């Protein structure tokens, strides 16, 4: 079953097309990652899917509910943490959680239990009595994300939830999210941190200039766009290396402690074999050899750059 189904979804602000006829389907129980450069249309998409702003055209179905017919019905079943900070300056951390639970009509006993659970899961126990005004920006973000878990929901939208979080808080949040997904929650999540997307997401969509330019599992994205491998061969200092290696294909040489030959192309393996043959026949020993797998970050940059070139946008 799909939790989110959007067809030909568009949103324009004046003459800016922020979201340009996108199709999305997100299966329930999955973590869907939404990536893209600044201004690509991620936040606008989240606001459309959560019924916070009206669409210009297209249809949205959330958890089986037609969003244009019953926006309130949608809102009751989802959670959303927006990119924009939101907090009540004069409330303490624990009161913020408590009040959020009350807003959602969570009964007192459940509220108490959840407040304790979240204070501990988000490492907020030590500052539970402090006012939001008197805590750090990262701590405030943790409160903002934590309070969303006060209520029951089937689907949660998170717009860059980890911005401003230190590495351990970030990992804590990602693991907390993973646990919730195991219990049946579906997550729609945006981030700029690609390791995060790789760690968390079952499926990833990349959006640029309002259009989805790639959508797949992290593994398939790597298969499709990550054919280029980087291979590094470490050898000692050799004179005339470039003349020795003439005709083996494309590579780069850098000298630091010793010499590193870097091969980066779609036919890296073939070039590697040739170089090793030449080194061997010239009695040049190889000190070290490493293959660097393509990262999601490289794929992201390639895909976004290609789509800019194809759409005639200057970069
Ligand atoms: N309220 C608005 N009025 C006019 N234009 C807007 C408005 N909100 C967003 N835009 C424009 O729509 C486009 C998409 O913005 P959006 O906030 O969705 O991008 P984003 O992918 O979330 O970027 P970021 O990574 O910086 O958060 C941008 O060109 C932005 O300037
Ligand atoms: Mg945004």
Q: What is the pLDDT along the chain (315 residues), one digit of tens a residue?
A: 799 999 999 999 999 999 999 999 999 999 999 999 999 999 999 999 999 999 999 999 999 999 999 999 999 999 999 999 999 999 999 999 999 999 999 999 999 999 999 999 999 999 999 999 999 999 999 999 999 999 999 999 999 999 999 999 999 999 999 999 999 999 999 998 888 999 999 999 999 999 999 999 998 988 888 777 788 999 998 888 989 999 888 899 998 788 999 988 778 888 999 999 999 999 999 999 998 877 888 888 888 988 888 776 654
* pLDDT reported for residue 312: 63
Give Cβ neighbours of residue 85 (< 8 Å, ≥ 6 apart). 137, 140, 141, 144
User: Is the same domain home to 194 and 52?
Assistant: yes
User: Is the same domain home to 156 and 170?
Assistant: yes
* pLDDT reported for residue 41: 97
User: Is the same domain home to 57 and 190?
Assistant: yes
Total domains, the chain: 2
How far does residue 204's CA lie from ligand 1's centre (Å)?
20
Domain stops at, among 224, 248, 268: 224
Identify the residue whose tokens are 């988000």. Answer: 122
Kindly report the pTM of this predicted structure: 0.86
Q: Choose one of 9, 14, 22, 42 to mutate for the ligand 1 pocket test, by most ligand atoms within 8 angstroms of C-beta.
A: 42
d(CA 29, CA 184): 5
Domain stops at, among 196, 224, 252: 224
User: Is the same domain home to 29 and 72?
Assistant: yes
d(CA 109, CA 173): 24
Residue 139's domain comprises 2-224
User: Is the same domain home to 96 and 151?
Assistant: yes
**233: which 2 tokens?**
């061969």
**CA neighbours within 13 Å on the CB side: how many for 231?**
19
Domain stops at, among 175, 201, 224: 224
- Are residues 227 and 266 in contact, defined by beta-carbon separation less than 8 angstroms? yes
How far does residue 120's CA lie from ligand 1's centre (Å)?
34
User: Is the same domain home to 125 and 197?
Assistant: yes
Going by alpha carbons, the residue nearest to atom 2 of ligand 1 is 13
User: Is the same domain home to 163 and 22?
Assistant: yes
Q: What's the CATH number where 122 sits?
A: 3.40.50.300
User: Is the same domain home to 107 and 43?
Assistant: yes
* pLDDT reported for residue 313: 61
Identify the residue whose tokens are 């009964």. Answer: 107
User: Is the same domain home to 204 and 177?
Assistant: yes
Would you say residue 313 lies in a domain? no
Calculate the CA 73 to chain-centre distance. 28
d(CA 231, CA 271): 10
User: Is the same domain home to 123 and 53?
Assistant: yes
- Are residues 86 and 77 in contact, defined by beta-carbon separation less than 8 angstroms? no
* pLDDT reported for residue 228: 73
């Amino acid at each position: 079953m799909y939790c989110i189904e959007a067809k030909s979804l568009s949103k324009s602000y004046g003459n800016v097309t922020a979201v340009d006829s996108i199709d999305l389907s997100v299966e329930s129980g999955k973590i869907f990652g939404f990536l893209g450069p600044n201004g690509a249309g991620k936040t606008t998409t989240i606001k459309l899917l959560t019924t916070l702003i009206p669409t210009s055209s297209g249809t949205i179905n959330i958890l089986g509910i037609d969003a244009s017919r019953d926006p309130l019905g949608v809102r009751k079943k989802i959670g959303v943490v927006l990119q924009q900070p939101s907090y009540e300056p004069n409330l303490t951390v624990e009161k913020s959680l408590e009040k959020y639970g009350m807003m959602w009509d969570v009964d007192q006993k459940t509220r108490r239990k959840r407040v304790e659970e979240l204070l501990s899961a988000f490492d907020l126990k030590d500052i539970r009595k402090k006012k939001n005004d008197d805590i750090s920006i990262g701590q405030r973000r943790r409160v903002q994300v934590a309070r969303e878990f006060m209520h029951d929901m089937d689907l949660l939208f998170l717009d860059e939830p980890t911005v401003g979080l230190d590495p351990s808080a970030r990992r804590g949040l990602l693991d907390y999210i993973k646990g919730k997904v195991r219990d049946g929650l579906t997550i729609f999540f945006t981030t700029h941190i690609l390791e995060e997307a790789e760690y968390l997401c079952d499926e990833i969509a990349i959006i640029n200039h309002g259009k989805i330019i790639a959508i797949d599992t992290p593994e398939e994205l790597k298969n499709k766009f990550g054919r280029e491998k980087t291979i590094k061969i470490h050898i000692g200092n050799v004179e005339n290396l470039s003349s020795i290696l003439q005709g083996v294909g494309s590579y780069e040489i850098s000298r630091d402690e010793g010499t590193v030959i870097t091969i980066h192309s779609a036919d890296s393996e073939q070039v590697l074999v040739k170089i090793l043959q030449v080194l061997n026949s010239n009695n040049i020993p190889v000190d070290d050899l490493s293959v660097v797998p393509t990262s999601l970050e490289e794929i992201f940059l390639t895909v976004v750059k290609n789509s800019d070139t194809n759409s005639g946008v200057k970069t």
